[in-house]
Amino acid sequence: MKRIVPIVLAVALFMENMDSTVIATSLATIARDIGTSPIALKLALTSYYVALAVFIPISGRMADRFGAKTVFRLAIGVFVLGSLACALAHSLEAFVAARFLQGMGGAMMTPVGRLLLVRAVPKSDLVSAMAWFTIPALIGPLVGPPIGGAIATYADWRWIFIINLPIGIAGILLATKFLPFVEKIPGITFDWKGFGLSGLACAGVVFGLSVVSLPALPPVFGLAMVVVGAVAAFAYIRHAARHERPVVELRLLRIETLRAAIVGGAIFRVGSGAVPFLFPLMLQLGFGYTPLESGIISAVSIGGAMMMKFLARPILRRFGFRATLIGTGLLGGFLMGTIAFYRPETPIAVLVVLLLIGGFFRSLFFTSINTLAFADVPSNRAGDATSMLAAFQQVSVATGVAMAGGILEIGMVLGGTDLPTLADFSAAFLIVGVVTMLAALAFIRLPRLAGAEVSGQRVPAE
């Protein structure tokens, strides 16, 4: 029974992590079927990430106010409804709206699931329970691209989303039977004004950047959305400074280690967030690979990420956060940029090695910043820091997808083609690599022993 709670919660985490990666290898197939461009389908990816960014900050307070078990089951239900809507979509607009609905459910599932785990499992069993809970986070991205590619190659792409229905229903039933009841917390209040302003800021800026170059809409429409988002962001900053408990607590940015982790992580994720969108499309449109072949190759980088799990602790203990993050930021961006020079005649083994090494350094970077972020945060503010970190992460990934799509669209316009060429993808990977390397700048001014208590880095005796 000790393991049943994390396993039940892991059902939802697996479904979300698999779904967030499964679509990338199927974009070209979905685009052909609903009559749109694969590049225009970046809106389906960005809409999902924007929904995560908008709703993650309120997930904890929703769980406290209405009950974590109730909110968790409701989140799975919303995610399943979004999956069904994706399967029934026959236009770009309907598909984008369905992905946003999915994101609303996904935004609640993982944070509330983690909260349930912490409150339901004794502290003596928490490490073991958390290990069971996080396994799907590794397995989902590993099996997602090949599964999505196989379905897109040999079956109707709509099955990618239909398979979520029985998994989600099973998750709701298991949660109802096995998850313990967690008491509501009285006196919880919501910052509805801040929620509205922050949501408008995220959606306006990211969606504006995504649609500014779409041929179906005039550029002024995208620019107007960016302006509205920027104004909302400015208004939120003023609101958060006056509100006692804003939905995203910006005052925590005064903590140097948290600020560096958020800024550096945001820049790095803009670059790395573009790769799952760019890479499968490059293999399919530029190299002629099937969705299944591109999915199998895309999953290789997860192998590097898994290897890192065994080496993160000794690396951080030896080099500390500053040196590790500067090094992984530069190497991670450099390895992304090298994909620009890969050609059909290049041995596949070369690409596999690049992906394995790149996956290792990207995972080490993310593990490091996710740990550094909480090195100096007071325990009673950890919840606020978690919400802010998660929101910035999702906005950054969505911005990366928008940026990558914009680069490809510019190349198509300049080349007078309907689909991006291999040269367009090369340009995109070079730019993405440079942007990613800029993340190292955020850590240069950190003290050499920043976060030493957490990393285990040896502190010289005075």
What pLDDT, in 10s, does the model give residues 122-181?
Answer: 655 554 555 566 566 667 667 777 887 888 888 888 998 998 899 889 888 888 887 777
- In percent, the amount of the chain with pLDDT more than 90 equals 13
For residue 65, give Cα distances in angstroms to 182, 183, 184, 189, 248.
11, 9, 6, 8, 17
- pLDDT of the residue at 1: 46
CATH topology identical between 1-181 and 254-462: yes
Number of other residues whose CB lies within 10 A of the CB of residue 392: 19
- pLDDT of the residue at 86: 93
Q: Does domain 1-181 have CATH number 1.20.1250.20?
A: yes
> In this structure, are residues 332 and 436 in contact, taking their beta carbons and an 8 Å threshold?
yes
Question: Token digits for 104?
Answer: 């609303």
From 47, 180, 56, select the one nearest 110 (Cα to Cα).
Answer: 56
Buried b (16+ CB within 10 A) or exposed e, 89-126: beebeebbbbbbbbbbbbbbbbbbbbbbbeebbeeeee
- pLDDT of the residue at 130: 56
- pLDDT of the residue at 124: 54
Please state, in angstroms and rounded to a whole number, the distance separating the CA atoms of residues 373 and 23: 30
pLDDT in tens, 397-444: 888 888 888 888 888 888 888 888 888 999 999 999 999 999 999 999
For residue 64, give Cα distances in angstroms to 1, 189, 239, 244, 250.
25, 10, 23, 18, 22
Instruction: Give the chain's residues under pLDDT 50.
Output: 1, 127, 461-462
Residues with Cβ within 8 Å of 231's Cβ and at least 6 positions away in sequence, in order, are: none
From 244, 200, 197, 15, select the one nearest 109 (Cα to Cα).
Answer: 15
Phi, psi of 89 (to 5 degrees): -70, 140
3-state SS, the chain, equals CCCHHHHHHHHHHHHHHHHHHHCHHHHHHHHHHHCCCCCCCHHHHHHHHHHHHHHHHHHHHHHHHHCHHHHHHHHHHHHHHHHHHHHHCCCHHHHHHHHHHHHHHHHHHHHHHHHHHHHHCCHHHHHHHHHHHHHHHHHHHHHHHHHHHHHHHHCCCCHHHHCHHHHHHHHHHHHHHHCCCCCCCCCCCCCHHHHHHHHHHHHHHHHHHHHCCCCCCCHHHHHHHHHHHHHHHHHHHHHHHHCCCCCCCHHHHHCHHHHHHHHHHHHHHHHHCCHHHHHHHHHHHHCCCCHHHHHHHHCHHHHHHHHHHHHHHHHHHHHHHHHHHHHHHHHHHHHHHHHHHCCCCCCHHHHHHHHHHHHHHHHHHHHHHHHHCCCCCCHHHHHHHHHHHHHHHHHHHHHHHHHHHHHHHHHHHHHCCCCCCHHHHHHHHHHHHHHHHHHHHHHCCCCCCCCHHHHCCCCCCC
> In this structure, are residues 291 and 456 in contact, taking their beta carbons and an 8 Å threshold?
no
- pLDDT of the residue at 345: 83
For 254-462, CATH gives 1.20.1250.20
- pLDDT of the residue at 458: 63
Domain spans of the chain? 1-181, 191-246, 254-462
From 145, 47, 40, select the one nearest 91 (Cα to Cα).
Answer: 40
- For tokens 């109730």, what's the residue? 70
